Chains A and B, each alone.
Chain A
Amino acid sequence: MNDRGPDDRGEGEGEQISCQEAVERVYEFLDGELDPGWTERVRRHAELCERCTPHFEFERAFLEHVRKKGLARERSELLERRIREALEGE
């Protein structure tokens, strides 16, 4: 008995994955951490699936904003003074 089901995938070209399989790998995909086979499967799904296309764009926008805004400069004159004093003691 084949427990993978009739519509399960081989390694061929026409191989398709479900929305769930695509979405649970969304971050690995966007991080460039999937192997080439999975990258291709997820990319194709994200491009063709009406529901997942905006979902992937949403997650991409989210990560871009975190990366851009999460690393803000923070100014502390007290700290700067403290560090200069410590450097003088070196």
Chain B
Amino acid sequence: MSESGDRSAQFEREALVHLDRLYGLALRFTGGDVPRAEDLVQDTILRAWRGWDGFERGTNARAWLATILRNTFINDFRRRRRRPDPVGFDDVSEREVFAEIADEDPEGGFFDHLVDAEVSAAIDELPDEFRVAVVLSDLEGLSYEEVSDAMGIPVGTVKSRLYRGRRRLQRRLYSYAKEMGYLS
């Protein structure tokens, strides 16, 4: 097999197998914006292909690709956003769920009924500044410090974005569970 054929086969085997996972991540970052998510995945793959010789074989290719995707997204996100748009406090959508549910479902059993698509849709609905913080922290596993560096906002702001974003997400999932009859 030729050297270039070898390189493609290896890229196929180790990188392209993660396409679905990368696309899922891209959709969450962009809030379900299909054309933007597709462009993001394509940019990521092309960058990965160009940098493939620098990738250390045998290490985690999925994590490496996810990092490329994240950096590509964040550069674009920070360029589009001239300044972070402050999201006004919303008393209803950010109200604590537990207080309402403490007696009927204190262990959050309704979460078990929620399927991936429902959780994804609820993440997509979050305002950009909240969604990106939640995706970086909860889906990508970044520390507050790393989220702060990525988004270019202070750690204190990361905390409040996560707190409020998760509250909204939780409230949305709770409403959804009620609508679907997952809760009595």
Contacts and interface: CB of A to CB of B under 8 A. Distances in A.
B87 interface: no
B114 A65 contact: yes
Nearest to B124: A70
A20 B33 CA distance: 38
Contact of B139 (A31, A62, A71, A82): A71
Contacts of B134: 66
Interface residue SS majority, chain B: helix
A82 B19 CA distance: 12
Interface in A1-34: 27-28, 31, 33
A66 B98 CA distance: 16
Interface residues of A, number: 32
A76 B38 contact: yes
A71 B123 CA distance: 10
B1 interface: no
Interface string A68-80: 0111111110011
B19 A83 contact: yes
A71 B19 contact: no
Contact of B163 (A27, A70, A74, A87): A27
A61 B41 contact: no
Interface in B1-60: 8, 16, 19-21, 23-25, 27-28, 38, 41-42, 45-46, 49-50
With a 10 A CB-CB cut-off, give which of A67, A74, A86, A87 has the most chain B CB atoms: A74
Given A62-B166, A83-B19, A70 B123 contact: yes
Contacts of A58: 97-98, 101, 106-108
Given A71-B21, A76-B23, 8 more contacts: A58-B108, A65-B119, A69-B116, A70-B120, A70-B123, A74-B20, A74-B27, A83-B16
